[in-house]
């Protein structure tokens, strides 16, 4: 484990995490890799983000929206995936800068990259070279379509992979209305899988003493979450298609209209069905509805009866009535409503950071929490750093390297 300079706590909260003491060298751009790096930073790792001299990560220019002064505007896209990192600009075609990168590699635990296949090799940093510099290094490599195979050469962009990997065919109002997910889900999933793989490789290193290469792709990440839609195809021989806001295998389960809005319900057991039907005057013993399989087959008729039963309710009253009967239900919130929701705030899902240009800003927070039963205390990192301004940590990183040289 490489050493870092960090205090465990401050007066305002915890600044470390389970990866405190590990160093991650983040050579990635856009979203998939940066999201993986941010996850490692959220867990306490020292994450050094290597950026192109002058321009930085591509996402620094992805907008609008941009915020801040006109002469130093900041892209909110970049802010979404780069908290808890340090920024250093390097030109990997410059010999002096390559020497700096080599020194960083020697002092890191994990290197993350999402270059197109062969690019890092051409820059002089093949897997063999990286492991010669640091045999304990974990290398996380993320591509679009995979590292080998007949289409490994293709560039991977989120929406293209949502289509190519089948996700758009099962998302939308119907079979003729393919829709992408409202966030870059292939990028985010591949970043999550990548971080998960890197952590597993770090654990394995404890046994072997050697680093290894972890590979994933946007294609793999979407297929990895096909779940029951995948086995419908591989086992049952079906070809799933989009059916809008209703579950293909459970009924009733979906979005229903009421007097002034729409609500969602999830009836996942026969006991819930009986309770739901009795509470809202539905024919529970109708042969079309006596079990889940026949309810799925007769979904249009069932949905019509449910919306008729809901038609006299305002959404707020309906949700109260459903909750009183123990029926899983919910509203459809806007993103703005989500960040104003007390439950979200209570879970630490909004964090405040001090940005060098923007001052105090709020960011979506990390999704993991940690608790130590021995001390009965939460050990979740609660103090976070803002996404860095380009090359703003060059001096700090140089001082850290100097200290490493002196200690070795």
Burial class (CB in 10 A: 0-12, 13-18, 19+), 24: buried
CB 266 within 8 A of CB 329: yes
Whole-number Å distance between alpha carbons of 288 and 295: 6
Give the total residue count for the chain: 408
What are the structure tokens assigned to 339, written together? 């960040």
Q: Helix, strand, or coil here: 163?
A: helix
Whole-number Å distance between alpha carbons of 363 and 256: 32
DSSP 37-60: HHHHHHTT-EEEEEE-TTT-SGGG
DSSP 144: S
What are the structure tokens assigned to 383, written together? 């103090």
| Active site annotation includes 187 | yes
- The catalytically annotated residue of 187, 285, 317, 372 is 187
Closest listed residue to residue 329, CA positions, set 320, 338, 339: 320
CB 139 within 8 A of CB 211: yes
Cis peptide before 252 (omega within 30 of 0): yes
CB 292 within 8 A of CB 346: no
What are the structure tokens assigned to 334, written together? 């806007």
Strand ranges (E), 218-305: 253-257, 262-266
What are the structure tokens assigned to 10, written together? 């401050």
DSSP 77-94: HHHTS--S-EEEE--TTS
Closest listed residue to residue 389, CA positions, set 104, 51, 19: 51
Q: How far is CA 370 from the centre of its chain?
A: 18
Neighbours of 313 (CB within 10 A): 19
Catalytic residues: 187
């Amino acid at each position: 484990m490489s050493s870092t300079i960090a205090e465990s706590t401050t007066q305002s909260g915890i600044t470390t995490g389970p990866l405190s003491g590990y160093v991650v060298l983040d050579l990635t751009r856009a979203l998939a890799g940066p999201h993986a790096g941010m996850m490692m930073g959220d867990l306490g790792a020292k994450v050094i983000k290597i950026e192109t001299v002058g321009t930085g990560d591509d996402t620094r220019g992805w907008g609008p929206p941009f915020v801040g002064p006109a002469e130093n505007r900041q892209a909110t896209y970049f802010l979404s995936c780069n908290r808890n990192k340090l920024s250093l600009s390097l030109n990997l075609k410059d010999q002096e800068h390559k020497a700096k990168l080599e020194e960083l590699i020697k002092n890191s635990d994990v290197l993350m990259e999402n270059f197109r296949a062969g690019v890092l090799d051409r820059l002089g940093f093949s897997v063999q070279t990286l492991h010669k510099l640091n045999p304990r290094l974990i290398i996380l490599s993320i591509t679009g379509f995979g590292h080998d195979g007949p289409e490994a050469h293709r560039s991977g962009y989120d929406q293209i992979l949502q289509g190519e990997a089948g996700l758009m065919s099962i998302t939308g109002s119907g079979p003729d209305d393919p829709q992408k997910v409202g966030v870059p889900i292939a990028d985010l999933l591949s970043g999550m899988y990548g971080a998960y793989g890197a952590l597993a490789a770090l654990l394995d290193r404890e046994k072997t003493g050697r680093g290894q290469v972890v590979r994933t792709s946007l294609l793999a990440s979407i297929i990895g979450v096909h779940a029951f839609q995948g086995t419908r195809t591989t086992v049952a021989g079906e070809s799933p298609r989009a059916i809008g806001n209703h579950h293909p295998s459970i009924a009733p389960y979906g979005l229903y209209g009421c007097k002034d809005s729409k609500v969602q319900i999830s009836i996942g057991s026969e006991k819930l069905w009986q309770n739901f039907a009795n509470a809202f005057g539905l024919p529970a013993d109708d042969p079309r509805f006596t079990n889940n399989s026949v309810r799925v087959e007769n979904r249009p008729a069932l949905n019509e009866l449910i919306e008729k039963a809901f038609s006299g309710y305002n959404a707020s009253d309906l949700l109260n009535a459903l909750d009183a009967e123990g029926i899983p239900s919910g509203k459809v919130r806007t993103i703005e409503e989500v960040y104003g929701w007390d439950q979200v705030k209570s879970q630490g899902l909004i964090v405040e950071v001090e940005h060098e240009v923007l001052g105090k800003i709020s960011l979506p927070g990390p999704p993991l929490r940690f608790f130590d039963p021995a001390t009965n205390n939460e050990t979740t990192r609660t103090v976070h750093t803002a996404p860095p301004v380009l090359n703003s940590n060059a001096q700090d990183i140089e001082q850290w390297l100097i200290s490493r040289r002196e200690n070795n």
